Amino acid sequence: MSPFETLRRMHRIAGWPLLLATFLARLPISMTLIGLLTLVTVTTGSVAAAGLVSGAFALGEALGGPVIARFADRHGQRLPVLVTALVDTALIAALVIAVIADAPLAVLVALAALGGLCLPQIGPMARTRWVVLIRRGPERGLERERSVSAAMSVEGVLDEASFVLGPALVGVLTVTMSPTASVIGAAVLLCVFGTVFALHPTAPPGSAPAPGGGGRIVRPALMVLTVPMFCQGLFFGGMSTGVTAFADNAGHGDLSGLMYAVMGTSSAVAGLLMASLPVGFTLTARTRVAAAGLALFTLPLYLEHGPATLAVTLFVLGFAIGPHIVSLFGLIERSAPPERLSQSMAIVLSCLILGQALGSMVAGALADAHGHYGAFALGTAGGVISLAMTTLVMRGHWYARRDESAPAASVEPSSRA
């Protein structure tokens, strides 16, 4: 299945409006993090204060995401997405006002934490929505597998694209208007397209709890996935810090974002190509190969580089990132209780957010002590630990496809409108 066939398959399932809404609704996540970092730094003159505010937002998202997703699993996606999108828009606006008004740092941190806590979980809910649509559709067997694979691949690409374009959009708004405009722009996008995503006819209703404790999410098959996803976060933290440190030391600080975006581009392409792999190449095998790639492809980073050769190395490295993330989300779909799929995805995704936050802090200290090589070492460690976990602990039989005859969660009629 070529990338174009993958996209056409997604269009047949629910149409382009849903794809567009899910992308534009998640774009404010990366925009807000980078925008707050820029706004607080420019306004207060303190990078440390900006890091605290941005970190509080990320921590709030990691803690609140699974709670919001659980409510959506139980009561349907429409109400929690709509309410959190509107509330979070107001909280982000209040945070901007507080920054401009020179409010105490404690107030800024508290507002940022609340903003992250109420951030709607578009990524996990979008993946859940596609899975529910596919399970309720006419496809069975191999065709259903291909559709689920296509959904996970496309969603991975949308994630990567949002984290590449989000910071770029912040930069454009900051340069052409002001740092305030970049954060307000993120809030407007969240309000408009969060509402569109919430009210789209494909929003699934809630699912009743499984009888007899069948809906437990504390199960080895699911919990083991939190470790490689946390390692992916460590990897991101180490790589972003390492690239920034390299660019600054080389006197090309303005190129750090561009070099990092190169890695995101190849990652998105590789993620989309995952739907083209044969079904016989199992998800567990894909995860192990991708984890090995994360570790091995970082080794050339320790050679002497100029900006151009480092960018080429990062481009090659990106081909391991997309498959790693896409495969992990595919394994979540296999192992999570159907009635708690959004929450399961949000929990594992929260591990990535926490790993990235911790990775950025640790990598900063390593970069100060050992230069960009120290930060890159954290990325290598993330790949090695993920490979060890997926090879030594993960078991393929945990992720066998559930019985086709098992009842799937219901969904409201889809629409291409």
State whether 245 and 202 are in the same domain: no
- Which of 159-168, 192-201, 283-292 has the lowest average pLDDT? 159-168
| Nearby residues of 217 by Cβ (< 8 Å), 6 or more positions away | 336, 337, 340, 343, 344, 347
State whether 174 and 251 are in the same domain: no
State whether 47 and 142 are in the same domain: yes
State whether 201 and 249 are in the same domain: no
216-223 LR contacts (CB < 8 Å, sep 24+): 216/337, 217/336, 217/337, 217/340, 217/343, 217/344, 217/347, 219/335, 220/398, 221/331, 221/334, 221/335, 221/395, 221/398, 221/399, 222/332, 222/335, 222/336, 222/344, 222/347, 222/348
State whether 148 and 6 are in the same domain: yes
Cα angle 411, 89, 63 (rounded to 5 degrees) comes to 70
Please give the full DSSP string across 60-120, using - where no structure is assigned: HHHHHHHHHHHHHHHH-SHHHHHHHHHHHHHHHHHHHHHHHTT--HHHHHHHHHHHHHT--
- Which of 34-38, 367-371, 401-405 has the lowest average pLDDT? 401-405
Q: Which two tokens stand for residue 60?
A: 């709030």
**Greatest mean pLDDT range, 110-124, 187-201, 262-276, 286-300:** 286-300
Mean pLDDT of 244-251: 75
CA distance 221 to 177: 48
State whether 196 and 228 are in the same domain: no
CA distance 97 to 99: 5
CA distance 161 to 123: 12
State whether 280 and 247 are in the same domain: yes
Domain limits for position 308: 213-401
Confidence of residue 214 (pLDDT cuts 50, 70, 90): low
CA distance 77 to 83: 10
Residue type, 135: R
Note the pLDDT of residue 91. 93
Last residue of a domain, one of 206, 228, 251: 206
How many angstroms from the chain centroid is the CA of residue 176? 28
If residue 249 lies in a helix (H) or strand (E), which one and from where to where? helix 226-249
**Domain annotation covers residue 417:** no
Contact 395, 314 (CB under 8 A): no
Q: Which two tokens stand for residue 211?
A: 């009888």
**Domain annotation covers residue 413:** no
Q: pLDDT tens digits for 296-324?
A: 999 999 988 888 888 899 999 989 998 89
Round the CA-based radius of gyration of the chain to a whole number and report it. 21
**Domain annotation covers residue 414:** no
Confidence of residue 208 (pLDDT cuts 50, 70, 90): low
State whether 53 and 144 are in the same domain: yes
Exposure string of 186-220, with b = 16+ CB inside 10 Å and e = fewer, is bbebbbbbbbbbbebbbbbebbeeeeeeebebeee
Contact 52, 105 (CB under 8 A): yes
State whether 258 and 362 are in the same domain: yes
State whether 198 and 220 are in the same domain: no
**Domain annotation covers residue 218:** yes
CATH of residue 13: 1.20.1250.20
The percent of residues above 90 in pLDDT, for the chain, comes to 18
Contact 119, 228 (CB under 8 A): no
Mean pLDDT of 231-251: 81
Nearest to 154 by CA among 381, 348, 330: 330
Compute the mean pLDDT over every residue in the chain, rounded to the nearest whole number. 80
Last residue of a domain, one of 179, 206, 233: 206
**Greatest mean pLDDT range, 39-48, 254-263, 326-335, 406-415:** 326-335
Domains contained in the chain, number: 2
Note the pLDDT of residue 199. 87
Q: Which two tokens stand for residue 396?
A: 């393929």
State whether 235 and 165 are in the same domain: no
CA distance 367 to 373: 7
State whether 47 and 111 are in the same domain: yes
Q: pLDDT tens digits for 326-378?
A: 889 888 878 878 778 778 888 888 888 888 878 877 877 787 788 888 889 98
Burial (CB < 10 A; 0-12, 13-18, 19+), residue 417, is exposed
